[in-house]
Amino acid sequence: MITTDSKERYLAAYKQAQSHAPKRAPAWLNELREAGMASFDQLGFPTTRNEDWKYTNVERIAAQSFARANGEAKRVSAGEIVARSLIDPAAPRLVFVNGVYTPELSQTAMLERGVVVRSLVDFIKEDDGTAAARLGRYASGRHQPLVALNTEFLKDGAVVSLAAGCRAEQPIYLVFVSTAGSEPVVSHPRTLILLGAGSEAKIVESYLGLDGGGYFCNAVTELVGGPDSVIEHYRLQQESDTGFHVGSLEANLERGCHLTAHAVSLSGALVRNNVRITLNGEGSACVLNGLYLADGKQHIDNFTEIEHLKPRASSLELYKGILSGSAHGVFNGKIVVHKDAQKTDARQTNKNLLLSADAVVNTKPQLEIYADDVKCSHGSTIGQMDSDALFYLRSRGLGIEEARSLLSFAFASDVVGRIKIDFLRARLDEYLVARFGRK
């Protein structure tokens, strides 16, 4: 019922947007949106009957009507963004407010040679051919309703493109800020990351909710790793307590490409992270590194899917969650090893620490293996704080709260330790000390 209503609402919004849209939009873009619209109209919002959404009910998102954001950026300052997020104020960045590029909050002057960082709107104006060839090619909305919805309303976002052999030293920050307006708003930022052969980049997507109002951020990132490229990709989630977030990273890795995809989720009312990685070249490798913290009534779902298509590729996945209050955490780790993907090495671990009796975790490994010469392993744990460890610390004089805080911090430490941007790791450490300290 709600699904039908919401479908009609989005369809009406789409028609309205298209009728107001300037006719200058290229034909390919209109076709892409049209395809997104058709897919979403067919799929609608997923229900818990959909196996991939079994533990995450998005009815709260579907039931609400959101206004399309118009980029009201005046109330947001760079200082506030830096203070509230974990970003490095000295590094290059693009800032989007409610999905709309905001040049006055961005800084790109210090970009290195061979590195292109643009808003999607500007990029399409400059390089229509690349955008037409790449957008929508890796993130398909045909089976994924929220990707379809993003594509239907595809307008702005970020493009990061590195020329072959270009090694960017500086991390590049893409900051997506949601602010409450007079009514709840929705944004559908779309990001395209293109890495030429042998290039190296560190890219941080930071999602930040300011103010207390309701909003829905439905982000999609398409990432293409060229042969032998090395990418550190980060997604930092700091949505507000009333914010809904669905984010999808769709990565396609070519031969010898090495991707480390970090997902750090620190807040948000309902958060769903989709990470889909296609190991589409021999010897390609991905490391998935996740940390999720939830308390109160927050719901955080990490859905990861790794497709091993080619031989000798590896995937190493570690996701850790700390849940308190009556928070609900979900982890789904799907690994598909296709028939040609011999010598695959896939390892997956999910560990959860429950700090309260009412917190819930659903963890589900899902391995499908069609090749015969592979190494695959998975393991998951859900546990409470180790009472032996707690007593050990208390027997040395640490108060119970301090001991708990130290053990929570310790639990997260290996995931945090894998963050290779020093500034970011230090900021996250500070954040965790403060967050665990106040409990």
* Contact flag: residue 434 with other proteins (CB under 8 A): no
Q: Give 120 or 407: the residue with its C-beta nearer to other proteins.
A: 407
Q: Tell the smallest beta-carbon distance from residue 393 to other proteins (Å).
A: 7
- Min. distance of Cβ 320 from other proteins in angstroms? 11
Helix and strand totals (H; E) in the chain: 10, 21
The interface with other proteins within residues 309-348 (CB under 8 A) comprises none
Q: Is 425 in the site for other proteins (CB under 8 A)?
A: no
What's the rounded Cα separation, in Å, for the pair 343 and 373? 5
Decide if residue 433 touches other proteins (CB under 8 A): no
Report the DSSP beta bridge partners of residue 380: 350
Q: Which of 398, 418, 425, 427 binds other proteins (CB under 8 A)?
A: 398
Two structure tokens written together for 193: 């990351």
- Where are the extended beta strands (E) located within 242-327? 243-253, 258-267, 270-279, 285-294, 299-308, 314-323
- Rounded CA-CA distance 345/231 in Å is 19
- In this chain, which of 316, 318, 406, 426 binds other proteins, going by CB under 8 A? 406
Q: Distance between CA 138 and CA 117 in Å, rounded?
A: 20
**Out of 54, 394, 418, 427, the residue judged to bind other proteins by CB under 8 A:** 394
332 near 300, Cβ under 8 Å? no
Q: Which of 386, 420, 430, 439 binds other proteins (CB under 8 A)?
A: 386
* Separation between Cα atoms, residue 374 and residue 418, nearest integer Å: 26
Per CB under 8 A, contacts with other proteins among 220-239 are none
- Among 26, 103, 212, 399, indicate the residue that binds other proteins (CB under 8 A): 399
Angstrom distance (rounded) from CA 102 to CA 380: 42
Should residue 402 be labelled a site residue for other proteins when binding is judged by CB under 8 A? yes
The least distance separating other proteins from the CB of residue 437, rounded to whole angstroms, comes to 12
Residue indicated by tokens 């052999």: 165
Shortest CB 238 distance to other proteins, Å: 22
**Least separation, in Å, of the C-beta of 433 and other proteins?**
11
Q: How far is it, in rounded angstroms, from Cα 197 to Cα 192?
A: 16
> Applying CB under 8 A, which residues contact other proteins?
386-389, 391-400, 402-403, 406-407, 409-414
